[in-house]
Amino acid sequence: MATTRRSKKAKVAYVCTECGGESPRWEGRCPHCAEWNTLQEFQPRDEPTDTHRFAALAGASPVQKLSEVQAKELPRQPTGLSEFDRALGGGLVPGGVILIGGDPGVGKSTLLLQAMASLAQVTQVLYVTGEESAEQVALRAQRLGLPTEGVDLLAEIRLETITDTLLSLKPKIVVIDSIQTLYSAQLSAAPGSVSQVRECAAQLTRLAKQNGICMVFIGHVTKDGSLAGPRVLEHIVDTVLYFEGDPQSSFRLVRAFKNRFGAVNELGVFAMTDRGLRGVTNPSALFLSQHQQQVPGSCVVATLEGTRPLLVEIQALVDTAHIPNPRRLSVGLEGNRLAMLLAVMNRHAGVVTYDQDVFVNAVGGVRISEPAADLAVLLAIMSSLNNKPLPKGLIVFGEVGLAGEIRPAPRGQERLREAAKLGFSVALIPKANAPKQPIEGLDIWAVERVDDAVAQLRASYT
């Protein structure tokens, strides 16, 4: 009897919600990724049950020569939303599993309902709702004015019922809203727990791969913006999308962080209207402030989001510090990189800011992670410090090194063409990015070092 109790007790394990690592006992800190308070209890199933249910995942396969494998391009199904297709890499792929996360109320269900209404005109689709009733989904579709005649709807959270429905209807595209609401009768844990999320995602992914069903999971996010549940969920799926947006703004961004069928960091831009989400054809206009005249501390950078060039305005405010430790604050840009740029300005350009508060912001709520924005940040700070606006129609990009050199940015020609298309007349860029052929309407200032860029701007004022 004691042996039986010990064996049952040994079946309790703890899983990290960040890295997915397992631990035999609860600890305040995960032994795998060193994150605090991320271990959650779950109960593994008996070994015979695991072997029976997952036998289809380990089918025998002979060894093949890679050169003899016949690879073919998978056909893509456009969703009818061009910006969504851009983030996906061109459209939906049969057998692909997509995970899309975002803050509550950002528009995940609205976006996918619009996509399903469009896809229902050309293929068979199924919308599984676990958070809302069928009447609530119908009311949203009616409010948005969507054609829903071909959309099959299932209000269910039990995994076994959903899989039976998928096998009987055989839809081509399925939306699960959301993966955290589902539960399997094989487990005693509550819906949304680590074990339930892992089990439901694994079973639905296996079903999608075996039957060529494109499946889209809607996932909840935690307070820090990451997807709730174990990080292993992101490894199971083929594509991970994040739906971003400020609740006070009408604009939404869909960004790809993982894509086995396309490029990562692709960006789709939407505007939230009373008729749903609408794609923005010229997203650069969102991130440029409409100043009546040139103002100090403003510089436009040509950045790259995936394969799309975007023009974003960088604003800087430099003010006299009234405390011993001046503040350094950046919104939409990396804070540590801001401190590095201030040191480079002091050492190689003679621009002193040790007694100044420095605030930097990327207009429009966009986040810029590439180092090609370094030069624009540096020039915006210098403009605010001197209280002199930069030349009208100036576009800037380039990475700044610790030695004061300005390094080239990838795909510089596309950045310059986007700037010329939007009416910019002067480009301050790294010398290595200087075009071999002149670009109509665009004057090129090619520089090699930070002090050369500062001297070029001071010469333009005279």
Query: Residues annotated in the binding site, as ranges?
Result: 102-109
Residues tagged in the binding site annotation for ATP: 102-109
Amino acid at 119: L
C-alpha angle 63-64-68 in degrees, rounded to nearest 5:
175
Name the nearest CA neighbour of 278 among 53, 74, 82: 82
Rounded CA separation 275/110 (Å) = 10
Q: What share of the chain is helix, strand, coil (3-state, %, to 5)?
A: 35, 25, 40
Is the preceding omega at residue 178 within 30 degrees of 0, hence cis?
yes
DSSP calls for 237-249: SSEEEEEE--TTS
Query: Are 424 and 401 spatial neighbours (Cβ–Cβ below 8 Å)?
Result: no
Other beta carbons within 10 Å of 9: 8
Rounded CA separation 157/58 (Å) = 27
Rounded CA separation 140/48 (Å) = 45
Instruction: Report helix, strand or coil for 71.
Output: coil
Name the nearest CA neighbour of 145 among 271, 268, 280, 273: 273
Q: In Å, how far are 29, 131, 226 from 180, measured between CA atoms?
A: 24, 9, 14
DSSP code, position 346: I
Query: Are 305 and 267 spatial neighbours (Cβ–Cβ below 8 Å)?
Result: yes
Which pair of structure tokens corresponds to residue 95? Answer: 């057998």
Name the nearest CA neighbour of 299 among 283, 288, 315, 285: 315
Amino acid at 45: R
Other beta carbons within 10 Å of 187: 19
Name the nearest CA neighbour of 337 among 286, 399, 391: 399
DSSP code, position 295: -
Other beta carbons within 10 Å of 85: 21
